[in-house]
Amino acid sequence: MNARSTNLLALGQLSAAKADAQAALLIAQQVGLQYMKAESTKRLGAIAAAEGDHRRAYELLAEADQLQGSRERSQSSERMLELTQRYRFESQQRQIDQLKIQEAQSELRLRWLWTVFVGSVLLFMLTAYFLIRQRRGNAQLAHLNSELQQSRNQLQATIDAVPDLLFVFDREGRYLDVRASHPELLAAPPEQLLGKTISDVLPPAAAKACMSAIAEAREKGVAVAQEIELILSAGSHWFEMSIALKKGRPLSDPRFVAISRDVTARKLAEQALHSSEQMFRAIVENSPDIIVRLDRNCRRIYINPAMQKLAGIDPSRLLGKTPMETY
């Protein structure tokens, strides 16, 4: 109606415009809309001014401004109330959110404490388990070490009781280990032998024989009864050496165990026996007397040249026969 009143006022139809404005004001008063009341009052003021009633127009316009201000204050109050309620709601929501965060943090802290507690218990149990295992392992290790030490002591006692010399060589004949219950039978003290080769220590002939035995042991696994002669501080000594390839080693880096036995007494006895036999043979061969050796069955096993000359027959017809079988 205010819009139509505005159009009628523009057309100069003041009565119709005034009627529409009054009707709009009445409706606004009934409905209680401040904005429509202010607009309708302002429209009536404009119509009064057009009619020439400027005083009435002033009063109506002042009333319209008052209504407009009242409306704005009402809107401002409503806005403030809305903002206050929103602030209060947001504040409460923030408090709720903060409480939720605190509750979540408390729950996380509680979970963390439980996790730490359970982890500590598990760690304690694992530590106790490993300590028990370690103690048992240490006890077993100590027992094994004791048995190993006993075995080593027994082996060392056995080696010390053996009169033979014991060596360990590599493929080049280098001394890696030396065990000797009689160090005086060594070509040099043990500490001087270690790290040196056979060729560095022994005479050429003896070194050649030893290296030949090492080569044979590498090919066949063992080499036995290799005799060598060494000139030591106590005089000439003969040794019988046996060499074996040490098992469990790669062929590219073999180890050889050698046992050297002093056979000087046997060698001297053999030489003495040989000399005695040579002397006996020289005496018997040159004796003018008849000399005959018989076995237990009275068969001739030796006749000297005097017997051969006396018999005048081939010695082969006499040897191996008894006197009764010959004559």
CATH 1.25.40.10 residue ranges for the chain: 1-88
Give per-residue pLDDT as tens, 275-316: 888 888 887 788 888 888 888 888 888 888 887 777 777 777
Query: For the residues 27-35, what does the mean pLDDT come to?
Result: 66
Give per-residue pLDDT as tens, 190-216: 999 999 999 999 999 999 999 999 999
Residue 130: Cβ-neighbour burial (10 angstroms; 0-12, 13-18, 19+) = exposed
186: closest CA among 260, 267, 266, 268?
A: 260
CATH class given for the domain over 271-325: alpha beta
32 vs 38: CA distance, rounded Å: 11
Query: For the residues 7-24, what does the mean pLDDT come to?
Result: 70
239 vs 235: CA distance, rounded Å: 13
Residue 1's contacts (CB-CB under 8 Å, 6 or more residues apart) are: 20, 21, 23, 24, 27, 40
Q: Looking at the predicted structure, is the pLDDT value of residue 75 above 70? A: no
What topology is assigned to 163-263 in CATH?
Answer: Beta-Lactamase (3.30.450)
pTM of the model: 0.46
Query: For the residues 169-181, what does the mean pLDDT come to?
Result: 92
What is the residue-averaged pLDDT of the chain? 82
CATH 3.30.450.20 residue ranges for the chain: 163-263, 271-325
Q: Which residue has the higher pLDDT, 131 or 327?
A: 131
236: closest CA among 163, 279, 180, 187?
A: 187
Residue 37: Cβ-neighbour burial (10 angstroms; 0-12, 13-18, 19+) = buried
Give per-residue pLDDT as tens, 246-256: 988 888 889 99
| Domain covering 1-88 in this structure, CATH number | 1.25.40.10
